[in-house]
Amino acid sequence: METYRPAGWLEALVAAALRTTLRTLLKPVFSPRWSIVFQRRWLSALARISLVPRSVSINPGDAGGVPGQWLRHGDVPAVRAGTLLYLHGGAYCVGSPATHRALTARLAQGTGVPVFAADYRLAPEHPFPAALDDALAAYRALRQRGPVVVAGDSAGGGLALSLTLALREAGEEQPAGLMLLSPWADMAPDTLPPEPPGEAMLSAAWAQACAAYYLASPPDQRVWVTSPLKADLRDLPPVLIQAATDEMLHGQALALHEALQSAGVTSRCEITERRWHVFQLHGGALRSADEAIARLCHFARQRLDAVTAPRHSEHEVVIMGAGMSGVCMGIGLNRAGIRDWVMLEKQPGVGGTWWDNTYPGAHVDVPSPVYAFSFAPNPRWSRRFASAPEIQRYAQALADRHHLGARTRLGTELTEARFDDTTGHWHLRTARGDTLRARFFVCSTGPLNQPRWPGIPGLDSFAGDRLHSARWNHRTPLAGRRVAVIGTGSTASQLVPPIAAQAARLHVFQRTANWVLPRLDRRYGWLDHLLARLPPYAVFTRWAWTQVLEWGRRGFDEGTVARRGMLKTAALHRDRQVPDPALRDALTPTYPLGCKRIIYSNDFYPALTRPHVELVTTGIERITPRGIVTTDGRERPVDVLVCATGFDTVQLLSSVQVTGLGGQTLRQAWSQGPQAYHGISVAGFPNLFLMLGPNTATGHTSTLLYIEPEVRHAIACMQRVRQAGQRWIAVRPEVMTEHNRALQQRLGGSVWAQCRSWYRMEGGKIVALFPGFTAEYVRAVWPPRAADYETD
């Protein structure tokens, strides 16, 4: 069971206002004192003020002869097959598709598939089994079109569960998944719970009266028909249950979750504190409701993608990778009016490197205000240097806010992309056999995508637990064990302190020392969060930190004031935190500051001074099944081996066979190292756009400052092709050649050419880093120079 605790003073004020409104306008009417006809009219009148997204079309229709409403998001084909069947709540006596549009419209918007809200027959005019018969008829009709996820709230949740049990008993194909919101899963009068103090809608007396209307016909011996909680729940599809603490049916939700798990059914139960019955109906007004709906949509998309057979689809744009650049590209395409796109992500979640890197202590090494897009400041950062989970949540929140999930397919790995110059389209294939056709192909995987394992003899023979920082296994215990960390770069500086706090013995293997500067970190308080919600303050803060980081870039140039200040600060920081002269000497770099990425840390040095931590500077000869042998012949026994050895920034896109004009592959074009025009376009590969491609990494600032202009550049090129009615656009070979010649000439005389780092290939060519300032790069890529591209 997962518990969610809404936070924030604004959220609390909105929730209090909504709770008061429900208690004033709705709860008094949900009473046996009022006729069912009046209750329906009153509820229908209140539903007119619900917030419905404008992007969703709502049209009357039917499924299997059952009337209802069809809700669809946008005007382009869905990126996945399937339908969502929604069964509304209302104690089987009130409610309709119209009363639940604020929720069902957001489900259509967030899943990207059509939603059919069934207007099933209600009691007392149509007692049991009319509702179940209608639900079965609608489901069977929808199932003929493809997979179906069934959702329902309150009585509709109980009905969805009964529907699935009926299908199982009949031997028919069941839904791809069930989403049950505060389900009324047991209608027996003796099991109806008392009304909790926080209940804003329901009362026991009203529920009992409605149950009597619905159960007016002779009782059915099959208990699952009206009280599925008491049924045999084996062999059901995966279930997501959502409920709240301040409602009557909270206990039934917990009991159903426990019963499903006991029956071997995959079940997830989400409980939101301080919320009322079906609070999700307040989507668009209540942040906790929006977040709950986003989780429902994620579950529905996941279930539909899991059961859909491989298929072919056609789109205007295919985006590979749902990291920060992929999210920015999706938002940019929507804003440009290009809505027929799909984003493919091999991982099960959004965030890219911030989804992959969950090692202890993971955080960004630039101030948080700069690690947010200019169009989406984040007032909810908890610290000046945000943690990896916070950044992943920021990326997910952006995807949810802009409804990118509807056009995103997670767990989908792209393996092949081939350009057809006769039609000007890319033909793509996924690992599971899906095929796609698109005019434009965007690779937004970035340079920090492929983990790099060290080439040390015997690595595969190690018999203990082996971890890579980019593929962390949180189930591997560290407490009280002997741990070795290979690497002392930026990643290692973050994970060494938390590991040192747990391990019985920690060996840190260092090849070369790194420059370490203090991290000006602090926790943000309520005043920071309040000010961050003011647009002028947020814009100024982001701009100010950008200027500070740009000033730091001057520290990479000899003879500057910035360099002298950074060198002095690094020396003072090392002297202050490392009192042992021998250890201090071992931690003093022998190469120029800035040649490798600078570490910003307040706890890395102190961790290395702890008595059970050893810094090993002797080279590693080999790894044995039980430990690490250094070149002096000494073997250190190890239980857990941690490789903080970064990513392969040279073999970009090595997992995908990309073929351009004349059958040339990207691997062939990059045989001497990856190169591109501004890191975006590659000669010979039309309609292909890279995000954070070669020579766009930075050693001093946020990559998000580079992503935004790259997205604008790529979309402008797409629009040029679309508006001119042409087939493709590609950078001219001579332009790319001259661009990279000048770039490498500039890099060759820079600080980055003076040591070995992940910026460089073995031969010395620097393929990852942009040598200049941020403003210089932005001016170079925006607007695109028409003369630099050829079209056909």
Expressed as residue numbers, the domain containing 269 is 2-306
Give me 40's structure tokens: 């329906």
pLDDT at 158: 96
Strand duo 729-731 + 408-410: pairing: unpaired
CA distance 736 to 742: 10
Q: Verify that 133 and 35 share a domain, yes or no.
A: yes
440 to 112, 311, 335, 626, 761: CA distances (angstroms): 21, 19, 17, 50, 30
End-to-end CA distance of the chain: 56
Tokens 């292909």 — which residue? 688
Q: Verify that 259 and 318 share a domain, yes or no.
A: no
413 and 437 Cβ atoms separated by less than 8 Å = no
> Considering the chain, what percentage of its residues have pLDDT values greater than 90?
84
Q: Verify that 466 and 588 share a domain, yes or no.
A: yes
* Predicted model pTM: 0.92
Confidence band, pLDDT 50/70/90 cuts, at residue 573: very high
651 pLDDT higher than 70: no
Q: Has 154 been annotated as catalytic?
A: yes
Q: Verify that 215 and 262 share a domain, yes or no.
A: yes
- Alpha helices, DSSP H only, in 144-286? 155-170, 204-214, 250-262
Nearest Cα to 484, choosing from 656, 645, 314, 254? 645
**Angle, helix 704-724 to helix 774-781, in steps of 10 degrees:** 0
CA distance 290 to 302: 18
- Return phi, psi of residue 428, to 5°: -125, 155
pLDDT at 199: 86
pLDDT at 447: 65
pLDDT at 195: 81
75 pLDDT higher than 90: no
Confidence band, pLDDT 50/70/90 cuts, at residue 746: very high
Q: 3-state class of 504 per DSSP?
A: coil
Q: Verify that 669 and 608 share a domain, yes or no.
A: no
pLDDT at 50: 84
- Residue of 154, 313, 493, 702 marked active site: 154
217 pLDDT higher than 90: no
Confidence band, pLDDT 50/70/90 cuts, at residue 448: low
pLDDT at 757: 79
Q: Verify that 503 and 626 share a domain, yes or no.
A: yes
151 pLDDT higher than 90: yes
490 and 545 Cβ atoms separated by less than 8 Å = no
CA distance 639 to 567: 38
pLDDT at 78: 84
Whole-number CA gyration radius for the chain? 29
**Angle, helix 535-553 to helix 774-781, in steps of 10 degrees:** 110
> Any idea what the CATH number is for the domain that residue 463 is in?
3.50.50.60
654 pLDDT higher than 80: no
373 pLDDT higher than 70: yes
Tell me the pLDDT of the chain averaged across its residues. 93
Q: Verify that 495 and 510 share a domain, yes or no.
A: yes
Confidence band, pLDDT 50/70/90 cuts, at residue 470: confident
- The lowest-confidence range among 348-352, 449-453, 784-788 is 449-453
Name the domain boundary from 643, 675, 692: 643
278 pLDDT higher than 70: yes
Q: Verify that 623 and 665 share a domain, yes or no.
A: no
Element at 43 (helix H, strand E): helix 36-47
Phi-psi map region of 65: left, alpha, beta (phi>0 left; psi -120 to 50 alpha): left
Q: Verify that 624 and 596 share a domain, yes or no.
A: yes
The more confidently predicted of residues 756 and 606 is 606
CA distance 468 to 486: 10
Name the domain boundary from 266, 286, 306: 306
565 pLDDT higher than 70: yes
pLDDT at 1: 87
pLDDT per residue as tens digits for the range 755-785: 887 788 888 888 888 999 999 999 999 999 9
pLDDT per residue as tens digits for the range 175-196: 999 999 999 999 886 667 778 8
pLDDT per residue as tens digits for the range 584-602: 999 999 999 998 889 999 9
449 pLDDT higher than 70: no
Point out which residues pair with 363 in neighbouring strands: 387
Q: Verify that 679 and 725 share a domain, yes or no.
A: yes
CA 336 remoteness from chain centre: 23
pLDDT per residue as tens digits for the range 509-543: 999 999 999 999 999 999 999 999 999 999 999 99
Q: Verify that 731 and 785 share a domain, yes or no.
A: yes
Give me 26's structure tokens: 């709705």
Give the Cβ contact number of residue 756 at 10 Å: 13
Name the domain boundary from 280, 306, 332: 306
Instruction: Provide the number of structural domains found in the chain.
Output: 3
Give me 162's structure tokens: 């009964």
Q: Verify that 639 and 654 share a domain, yes or no.
A: no
223 pLDDT higher than 80: no
431 pLDDT higher than 80: yes
Tokens 């200027």 — which residue? 547
